A and B are shown apart, each in its own frame.
Chain A
């Protein structure tokens, strides 16, 4: 809408992608992980750190630095005109990309480096990580009761299952599908197949969510370079962005409309597309319930049917809506900011035709991304377009 006034000339193109493996312990600091993904992205774009005029870095809970963009810029040897950090919870990665696109569209920036990464799993105790994350809840009116992130999402899940007369087994297929995707990705945190019974029999964390309904806490990093129009079959353009913020706390959320619909519509309208024009999807999946609610609000699934669609294979590589082919947060892993960026890395790689053994048989052209931060609080949607290329790229990209 408003962004469409400034889009088009120049275009904002993803020219570089970096993504590390996600794991329980990468053996590196947050800054080292950020540097690794950033250098991958810069190398992929064929530029040096000095060529970047803007650095945007996501927050890292293990660093809590007040100048994350500057810290990373110096480490890389970049001397950007502008450097800044962003904090929008799990939506931070896509929010940074949206901001980068706006800077390029407005003519303010030519080359933007966007990075998220941290040693969230190994750099602190599990209890410390959970306590930090719980702070998206209200400090005095929610956190003090003993609630935590799984509990906030479990509240959403309890109401969802009640509203549609569903059971835990109706969400479980989403976790099973994500694991199936992750099995063949060498960078994924989990590779062992799981069944619906495995999900149902896993220890309960916050009912109705069990351990396998929840994403892990991981180490890892991701990065992108966004540039003004560049030609070639490896160029993937950002053609639509949408953002919505209707609440912060679950106590204030409108469970029947959390904001994903508005965000998605804005991005799709700007791109001149509808859901059925999209060839590949990357949707935030911090919990099975997150994925179900987002798929339904965005309009990919009818209300109450997301898990059933997963059971029927709709989100498989061969399904109608290929979704999170890297395994998503649930199985590729979730180091915070980089978690939501991994979905975008997979879409860009697939649109380029560089996904190797995971490559969709029919190379996708348009991709749709959505991430949320908090408790379905902050929403960012992005539409990617690979353009009307003729021949698949033969470049050796990320596998």
Chain B
């Protein structure tokens, strides 16, 4: 597996990027979006804080369902979109890991609240 293969490429890992100037970001770029210097990947620990959260409600032929979507500010200073339990509160301490949907085999980041 290459250095840049993350969950979107089917690898079960979360990746961020950072530069020598200390900037860090999440969505993959060829260079640092702030200073333009070289980018290198890193694996964040996964701990962070819920910054924003929504619960999407779907009503279809298959009945009603809901999923939680959140933006998590990871402790390394990058913001990651992840699924979460519906109704997870802003400010909650969480840990993000890569999980797999049982039906579709799709990998995605999922965050769970760290018990206080």
Contacts and interface: CB of A to CB of B under 8 A. Distances in A.
B54 A155 contact: yes
A207 B57 CA distance: 8
A142 interface: yes
Interface in B53-67: 53-57, 59, 67
B56 A206 contact: yes
Given A144-B8, A151-B69, A251-B80, A158 B53 contact: yes
B81 A142 contact: yes
A222 B8 CA distance: 40
A250 interface: yes
- Which of B54, B69, B87, B91 has the most A CB atoms < 10 Å from its CB? B54
A389 interface: no
A338 to B, nearest CB: 27
- Which of A154, A158, A205 has the most B CB atoms < 10 Å from its CB? A158
B56 A156 contact: no
A123 to B, nearest CB: 21
Given A138-B27, A151-B69, A162-B90, A145 B83 contact: yes
Contact of A155 (B27, B69, B83): B69
Contact of B108 (A145, A158, A206): A145
A142 B80 CA distance: 9
Interface string A195-215: 000000001111111000000
A251 B109 CA distance: 14
A141 B90 contact: no
Given A141-B8, A159-B90, A251-B26, A151 B71 contact: no
Contact of B57 (A142, A205, A255): A205
B56 A155 contact: no
A142 B56 CA distance: 14
- Which of A138, A141, A144, A150 has the most B CB atoms < 10 Å from its CB? A141
Contact of A203 (B27, B59, B83, B109): B59
Contacts of A151: 54, 56, 69
B18 interface: no
B42 interface: no
Contacts of B69: 145-147, 151, 154-155, 206
Contacts of A144: 8, 106, 108
B101 to A, nearest CB: 10
Contact of B81 (A158, A162, A205, A251): A251
B93 interface: no
B39 interface: no
A206 B53 contact: no
Nearest to A142: B81
A209 B26 CA distance: 27
A146 B67 contact: yes
A206 B27 contact: no
Nearest to B90: A162
A148 interface: yes
A205 B58 CA distance: 7
Contacts of A158: 52-54, 90
B31 to A, nearest CB: 15
A251 B27 contact: yes
25 contacts: A138-B27, A140-B8, A141-B8, A141-B26, A146-B56, A146-B83, A147-B56, A147-B69, A147-B81, A148-B56, A155-B70, A155-B71, A156-B52, A158-B52, A158-B53, A158-B54, A159-B51, A162-B90, A203-B59, A206-B55, A206-B56, A206-B69, A250-B71, A251-B26, A255-B52
Interface of A: 138, 140-142, 144-148, 150-151, 154-159, 162, 203-209, 249-252, 255
Given A155-B53, A204-B57, A209-B54, 13 more contacts: A138-B81, A141-B8, A141-B26, A144-B8, A146-B56, A146-B69, A147-B56, A155-B70, A157-B54, A158-B52, A203-B59, A205-B56, A255-B52
